[in-house]
Amino acid sequence: MANSELISKDEFLWSFKENVNALALPEKFTFPFYYTPHELSLRATEQLKEYLSVQNDFQHNFGLKNGQEGLVIGKMFGVLVVEDQEGELRFLAAFSGKLANSNHHIKFVPPVFDMLKQDGYYKIEESKINVLTQEIEVLEQNEEIAKAAAFLRQESALMEERLELQRQKSRRAKQERKAWRKEAEETLTGEALEERLGKIKHESLCFKFYQKDLINYWNIRTQMAKEALLKIEQPILELKEHRKRRSSALQNKLFSEYNFLNAEGARKSLQSIFQHTVFEIPPAGAGECAAPKLLHYAFRKGLKPVCMAEFWWGASPKSEVRKHGHYYPACKGKCEPILSHMLVGLSVEDNPMDAFESANKQIDIVFEDDDLVVINKPHDFLSVPGKTIKDSVYERMKEMYPNATGPLIVHRLDMATSGIMLIAKNKESHKALQAQFIQRTIKKRYEALLDGTLELRKGRIELPLRVDIEDRPRQLVCYEHGKPALTIWEKRAEKDGRTRVYFYPISGRTHQLRVHAAYKDGLNTAIVGDELYGSKSDRLHLHAGFIQFNHPINEQLMKFTISAKF
């Protein structure tokens, strides 16, 4: 793309290569957390992707070229189609975070607040804090600290050794006194017995007092060692406290001055935006995503937002499922509070999830007796009521079986997943069925259509999962804090570049099959229609098609199979 394609009066405004005036404008601005990119956004992103593929303006290793130097870091990019002051359609581009270790590049809007600006207060104060860190590191190299710490460890170990020896001696003496007491009670009477028992009691008290004195003695010795170490470390502790205060003050200043415009021209700081959220304080990186950058710049320059889209460029990150070139919604944790403010004054599309139509969804009864019901849940239908949608399997079952006792729902399926669910009509059945799920004696099989092909015919996937706190309900692969998740799989058929597979989940984590399919160390092939970890389609092609369990009351073995409708 030549530089001439940028509007001369604003270096960050891009011109469309092709004439887009014939394209119908969207009636409302993009709902950023659940959207299908408008044709204008598609044209803009294709143009940006073309530039990223051939540009030489910066060097950044996206992980797309073999042998490229530097740490592999994929990036989220965004485009915002706008009308300029003359009513012409243009678009802006932005990246999340830093790119090539810089906040500034010629074709991308600047950050809302530039923390890397060398003469800015943030970098100046950060440099002062770094000086404190260096002073602390120098003081921590003092050999006297190492000697004092070693002496404290030696004293503590010696204390434990001596006290343990005394505890062992006390235990042996206690056993001896017990034997003496028994012998005295069997052989002595009267004053002789009283005298012997008195001596035994006196010896017991002596042991107790000696042990108490010994503990006090060693506590004093170790306390003296601790105080000697603390005396040497005191200057370091004072510097660390000083650094902590300065860091906190810098953070508070940043949060209060890092503010965002909205469509009405009102500003709001990061601090005020997040103070009423679950985070209370802004999470790391808040405000540095592409969407807030784009909107803030547009509002600042008097440009009218038309539509927007964000896409991933580069290799997938270590823990997340991100596919090169795929479109993604704005994140919930960092961006939702900010964008909720920034979009005030714009006519924004309704959240499709709030207007989700479920009235035409039918629940098929597969089996029923006095204790349980086996149903076939339709896709795009909740198992239990959500925040804004009440209609669900639970509500339908409660209406169908008003005399049922207990929680009814034994297990859940994702809203987008279709297939077999078990419903308990009474508390006893619910308890018995849940026990089978907990003990993993219930056998389940899911059928899925993958958006790609597989070389192997079968295998197992073990990837621990946890929720992405900053972007619920997405799940992350996390070996440090994730819960174990195991899936067995087998390939069933391949056609037109897609693969039909069976999944046998051994554990039942949220989005387990979806992540295990899409993640690079799993099958690296998302399920068709998986809008969270892959690409949108008419539906999520995932179906709970088989279940085997023991009847909760008579313990008869039961098996049910329902074919997928895809």
- Supply the pLDDT for residue 175: 94
User: pTM of the full predicted structure?
Assistant: 0.77
Among 113-122, 220-229, 277-286, 362-371, the minimum mean pLDDT is found in 113-122
Alpha-carbon distance of 524 to 517, in angstroms, equals 6
- Among residues 391, 414, 451, 468, the one annotated as catalytic is 414
Specify the residue for token string 């009636």: 27
Shortest CA distance to 36 belongs to which of 262, 349, 332, 382?
349
Query: What is the percentage of the chain residues whose pLDDT exceeds 70?
Result: 98
Alpha-carbon distance of 123 to 221, in angstroms, equals 47
Assess whether pLDDT exceeds 70 at residue 237. Answer: yes
The tokens for 156 are 């503590």
Class of domain 364-561: alpha beta
Assess whether pLDDT exceeds 80 at residue 115. Answer: no
The stretch 408-415 carries a mean pLDDT of 95
Q: Are 421 and 411 in contact (CB under 8 A)?
A: yes
- Supply the pLDDT for residue 371: 96
Q: Are 548 and 557 in contact (CB under 8 A)?
A: yes
Say whether the peptide bond before residue 473 is cis (omega within 30 degrees of 0): yes
More confident residue, 541 or 319: 541
Burial tier of 431 (Cβ tally within 10 Å: 0-12, 13-18, 19+) = middle
Assess whether pLDDT exceeds 70 at residue 9. Answer: no
Summarised one tens digit per residue, pLDDT across range 256-306 is 888 999 999 999 999 999 998 888 888 888 999 999 999 999 999 999 999
Q: Give residue 355's pLDDT band: very low, low, confident or very high (50, 70, 90).
A: low
Summarised one tens digit per residue, pLDDT across range 310-354 is 999 999 998 999 999 999 999 988 999 999 999 999 999 998 777
Summarised one tens digit per residue, pLDDT across range 71-84 is 999 999 999 999 99
- Supply the pLDDT for residue 406: 83
Look at the alpha carbons of 365, 368, 371, 372 in this order and tell me if their dihedral is positive or negative: negative
Summarised one tens digit per residue, pLDDT across range 124-158 is 888 999 999 999 999 999 999 999 999 999 999 99
- Supply the pLDDT for residue 284: 84
The tokens for 190 are 């009267």
Cα distance between the two ends of the chain: 42
**Extents of the domains making up the chain:** 3-113+262-342, 139-254, 364-561
Which residues lie across from 156 on neighbouring strands?
Answer: none
Give SS3 for 500: strand
Question: Annotated catalytic, 213?
Answer: no
Look at the alpha carbons of 474, 478, 484, 490 in this order and tell me if their dihedral is positive or negative: positive
